[in-house]
Structure 1
């Protein structure tokens, strides 16, 4: 929880799961009801954090160690929190974030090294915020990777680790959803986007 008056929602999932599409669709739906919505992403969401995004998502898969990645992602998240998330929540807006700290718990804490303890320590020291609701878009890893690679963007560093990382990440996200069951809701992403979006809206209504 953030201590503000707004609502903080995060979307999580493996690369290619459709979480970015679902974050956008939920933002459009809530705006149509008259709510102020800030749709943002991680890494990124503020000018400084977007600069760090280019550093961590582009280039050779072995460009950074997991430890260096953790520091970079935490720095980006702190700037994002200060400049985008907290101000929006303080004025009562709904913040929808495509990835947040749970992605760091998975990518750097689990899949890139045994760093979960370090992730949680840094998070407690420098961030100290969890979403009110986290929507995990769960999808078959092989199909998700094919979708992610088909995008053909410059930000393919993590996709280039291949299917084994995707499979490990999916299992890790499901375990994380069990660990933080109070704020996580799992939505089946192996369907048409509108069907997924209906379940996303239902999960939000149930949380309220």
Structure 2
């Protein structure tokens, strides 16, 4: 493939994003292409701060609206570093002939960090300057499936509740029903290899 791609996986918690990102990376390597997984939150300073907040080891505010706004700012700052830093930023890696695969991007901020129209517009404006990925893969699963998978984890993060995930899933469905760029929406309850094959077919249909 002449063009090196920036591919983003989105979906509610435990939808299979990481599994499919790993499978796609392995596929690229198998066919002789360089690929790397570079996800959000990143492993940088701001990304680590976000991870601690999600685990509730850091509490910015007991007010959920203020907390969500703080997280939106942090995610935007981390996203800017993710894209543009000169060491392992997305565009630096693409320049070095890597396909870059990310689990989560600005769609996650739009889905997770707002509950009202006003909050949505604020976060949209905060992320407006970030470029769209070449391909977005949205993996959709029922809330009950997500919660069942999350029970296998030893630590639950702040957004991993039935009420929150229900709202997040609804926002994702709205976002991708209106999104005009290249996106594939997949049923995450399918066999993981079937999902992977659909992703490969979509990539080749659009970029070879």
Report the TM range for the smaller structure's normalisation.
Answer: 0.7 to 0.9
Question: Per the alignment, in what secondary structure is the counterpart of residue 113 of structure 2?
Answer: helix
TM-score, structure 1 as length reference: 0.86
Q: Say whether residues 1:158 and 2:162 are aligned partners.
A: no
Classify 1:187/1:202 alpha carbon distance in 2 versus 1 (closer, same or farther; 3 Å): same
Picking from 39, 54, 58, the partner of 1:57 is: 54
Task: Please identify runs of 4+ aligned residues in structure 1 that moved more than 3 A.
Answer: 60-64, 111-114
The SS at the match of 1:96 is strand
Asked whether the equivalents of residues 43 and 52 of structure 1 are also in contact (C-alpha less than 8 Å), the reply is no
User: Contact between 1:67 and 1:108, CA under 8 Å: does it hold in 2?
Assistant: yes
Query: Helix, strand or coil for the counterpart of 1:41?
Result: coil
For 2:120, the equivalent position in structure 1 comes to 116
Which residue of the partner structure matches residue 206 of structure 2? 207
Q: Does 1:103 align with 2:102?
A: no
2:99 matched residue in structure 1: 94
Once the 2 structures are TM-superposed, how far is the Cα of residue 167 of structure 1 from its aligned partner? Answer: 1.7
Aligned position for 1:178: 177
Q: CA RMSD in A?
A: 2.1
Provide the secondary structure at the position in 2 that maps to 1:115. Answer: helix
Structure 1 residues 146 and 196, CA, compared in 2 at 3 Å: closer, same or farther? same
Shift of 1:78: 1.2
Aligned to 2:130: 128
Corresponding residue of 2:80: 78
Distance 1:63 1:14 in 2: 23
- Distance across 2 between alignment mates of 1:75 and 1:55: 16
1:66 is matched with which residue? Answer: 68
CA deviation vs aligned residue, 1:153-205 (integer Å, no higher than 9, x gap)? 4x62211xx11221221121111111114222101101221121111212222
5+ unaligned residues in a row in structure 2: which ranges? 62-66
CA distance in 2 between counterparts of 1:164 and 1:150 reads 19
Alpha-carbon spacing, 1:185–1:7, altered in 2? closer, same or farther (3 Å): same
Aligned partners of 2:159 and 2:165 also within 8 Å: no
TM-score, with length taken from structure 2: 0.86
1-structure distance, mates of 2:59, 2:118: 16
Q: Which ranges of structure 1 fall in alignment gaps of 5 or more residues?
A: none
